[in-house]
Amino acid sequence: MQVFIAFISVLIIFNLFTVKDSLAYTKDEANTSIQQADEAVSSAFKAVLEAEKVGANVSRLITKMNEAAVLLTNAKIMAYKENFHDTIELANSSIEIANSVKYEAANLKFSTLSLHDYIFKISIIESLVGVTAFLLSMIFFWRWFKSYYINKIISLKPEVKENVDS
């Protein structure tokens, strides 16, 4: 039993040192992750801006962008405090959110452009049908009016006046 407890103690101590070594990040790694997160957030912001330019509703994406920016700011604060492990975790979370926002913004932009294209095509078709219907109704009205007017003129009898001096 004592051997088992000693073995477990050695494993626990070994795990504590190996976990601590794996969590030890350098300042350069932290700065690199912050720079990558900064680029990801900037890229996501540009994608959201492009989606907004085509008329997409990006309010939900703005909320997520805000969350990524807050994580990036917290990562910079942790780097200033030299807590590089938390810095890298926060920066990676910010990158994850920014990449998902960028992907959603691209999809939203594509769907909005597709919707605008569809609406434009429907408008063209409706205009063609409307103009055609209007022209046909005017032709039928003109034919009816023309035949009515001709029949009315033909049915008229000339007036004959008596005692007309010539």
Domain ranges within the chain, ordered by starting residue: 27-115
pTM here?
A: 0.66
d(CA 138, CA 95): 64
Residues 6+ apart with CB under 8 A from 102: 40, 43, 44, 47
User: In the prediction, which pLDDT does 27 show?
Assistant: 83
Could you read off the pLDDT tens digit of each residue along the chain, which spans 166 residues?
A: 666 565 566 566 655 554 443 456 788 888 999 999 999 999 999 999 999 999 999 999 999 999 999 999 999 998 888 888 899 999 999 999 999 999 999 999 999 999 999 999 999 999 999 999 999 999 999 999 999 998 888 887 777 777 766 5
